[in-house]
Amino acid sequence: MDWLTWLLLESPAALGTLLGLTLFVLLVRWRRGGSPRPLVVALAVSVVLLVTQALVVTHRERAAHVLDAIAADIARARTGALAAALDEQFDAGRHRGEPLTRARFVEYVQALLRRINVVWVQRTDLDITGRQPGRFVAEAQYLAEINHDQLSGTFRSRWAVTFARTAHGWQIVQIEPMFIDGVPVASWERIARE
């Protein structure tokens, strides 16, 4: 079912290619003496599908847009996109015994960005895993090159990001680290330490 959602709602290139090939076959059939009716119907269906795809925004597209903006900002050592995407009720658990609220989480990320240099970051995978009315979880996997002091390396990480519909639109209400470079991450303290 995910591939059908991707084809019909998320990929203009794939849908356009499929529709173009279908219309070409029907055009050839009509030019060889067939009825023009299937071509006209297919053309109308194509217009409806492409307009629908342009109007509908899926959870995956919504999450990709927000997470890509955050990743681009973090690569520039900024946190504006992150702060804008987090809901007022954001909760990332605890760090040093204190709750990681929206303001504290942004401060936490800013402190990390002062210690490390993110050369580049690229999202390599995005799955929507938990769907509830007004809420969904996006699991995003990233590949990033990070410099710290004289050490440099490329790291894979995976994060569970919970989005919820709020008065301000879809916003992030929770972020959980799943793993960094293949090692499960149990706490924000461990990320700050390593």
Q: Are residues 26 and 100 in the same domain?
A: no
Same domain, 64 and 50: no
> Are residues 154 and 70 in contact, defined by beta-carbon separation less than 8 angstroms?
no
Tell me: the pLDDT tens digits for 146-174?
Answer: 888 777 888 898 999 999 999 889 999 99
What is the pLDDT at residue 96?
72
- Kindly state whether residues 78 and 165 are assigned to the same domain: yes
115 shares a domain with 102: yes
Higher model confidence: residue 96 or residue 111? 111
Confidence at residue 68, expressed as pLDDT on a 0 to 100 scale: 95
pLDDT score recorded for residue 194? 57
The predicted-structure confidence for 33-69, as pLDDT tens digits, reads as follows: 888 999 999 999 999 999 988 888 888 899 999 999 9
Identify whether residues 105 and 72 lie together within a single domain.
yes
- Domain total of the chain: 2
Percent of the chain at pLDDT exceeding 90: 47
CA proximity to 180, closest of 130, 144, 129: 144
pLDDT for 143 equals 93
Per-residue pLDDT tens over the stretch 108-128:
899 889 988 899 999 999 998
CA 176 to chain centre: 15
pLDDT given at position 186: 62
**Are 124 and 44 part of one and the same domain?**
no
* 190: pLDDT strictly greater than 90: no
| 101 in the same domain as 28 | no
More confident residue, 100 or 143: 143
Same domain, 12 and 69: no
- Structural domain including 153 reads 59-193
